[in-house]
Structure 1
Amino acid sequence: MGGGLVGTRSGRAAESAAINEETRTLRSGTQYETPAYVRDAPDDGETVVVLGGVHGSEIAGVDAAHSVREWTFDRGTLVVIPEANAPAVRDETYSGPDGDLNQQFPSGRSPTTPIAESIWSFITEMDPAAVIDMHSSMGIWGSSRGPSGFGQAIFPTEAGNARRVAARANDSLNESEIRPSSRYDGAYSFTRGNTLDGSQPRLIHKVSADLGVAGYLTEVTRHDTALETRTEWSEAVAATLLAHHGIDVVRE
């Protein structure tokens, strides 16, 4: 589709000799124009794609994705799309002009809007071992604390050993982020959500069904939490999942 991808080499690569960064532009010249960053470490390893801003009002994922872009690492390729749904991010709205972006990725068929098609084509081109899609929710998954919702959970794909990785990641996250906290009790523990298998038209469902690789829809809760905390948790989730795919990051 028109307004697809434009690529340039970024001068930021010179700031860190270890990391080579290429900036790509999705939907160039349209209201959905948004950058994607391809960051290669010196040593070969797995490729992982990280997205924020599929829902523009979920600011923690956007801020965390921008932070992920700054991290350094020695092995693998880290691909970051911080503002996947650029108009929604600008307006801080859940959906963009073409509706809910995370309802535009039917399994076994083409995505249903130009921006979804551009994102999907780019992800496919990257040939990732895993895809991480960062979100936030009003409530806490499986908890009676606060409103119902999906927060504090990692929803893994059926494919790619993602269920096992998610369970191990949650153990690490609870040990590092929740148990030491004087503010957040066990109700805020990270858990594993239901398995995403391609039955819904969402990005990580499509990753499971059409790519057959690991995917993670990550959710932190907005219930009684500050944006700074949600962003910190989102970064911790991303870093932990990346480590399980061989990308050990230095968080800056």
Structure 2
Amino acid sequence: MNFEGQTALVTGAASKRGIGREIARQISQGGGTVIIADINQEMLENAVKDIDQEKGSAYSAVLDVTSEEKVKQSLDELIGKFSKIDILVNNAGITRPTGVLDISEEEWDLIFDVNMKGTFFVTQHLLPHMKENNYGRIVNLSSVSGKRGGGIFGGSHYSAAKAAVTGFSKAVAREMASFGITSNTVAPGLIATDITGGMLTDEKKKQLENDIPAKRAGTVEDVANAVAFLATKESSYITGEEIDINGGSHID
């Protein structure tokens, strides 16, 4: 896929084996300039180094998506430095497996602040810039949990937040389509990342994979392939869509 001359911002992309890191890598390999945003400075530096070693073009940005003031300040600085941001991938997210009866207000707010409010803040502050350029590609990370109501790792707060991301994406798609801006969502199922690997025993992983028609967990590449396509110029007539990436574990 060709991203020559384009700049992409990918949030929550510093984790070594995370989905965001692979999305950033694929866009950079397509010739795009990638801004990797995260709250962990050390992991950010490693992410940029890895992409540089593959002869890609990457830059780091420390970003707390839960703070509107910090989001605005960071985006203003990034737009000033790079002149334009063509692609936004809202990948930053966290989950907790807490049951509904045990969720505190603090934990509920934390899950919504990162997964939903963060997506809103970054999108809202970048949209005027995209409107001015009459071009933009926005891809938001949701989850199968937001469709089926829970799952392996996410509690009801996570499911609600990810369902909200999908609804938000569709509304943005309707409002922004006439400005050359698309807004789409991908909803991964069980994906093999550092986070999921640390939460599963080998026995539990095998059990879960047996319940998936494809008989395997997804890879970060499976998700990034779809995100990268939605971020291309060629996807201009696709907006307001939600792409399921779950090996058939949830079909609707």
How would you bin the TM-score normalised by the shorter chain?
0.3 to 0.5
Greater strand content: 1
Greater helix content: 2
State the TM-score, normalizing by the size of structure 2: 0.37
State the TM-score, normalizing by the size of structure 1: 0.37
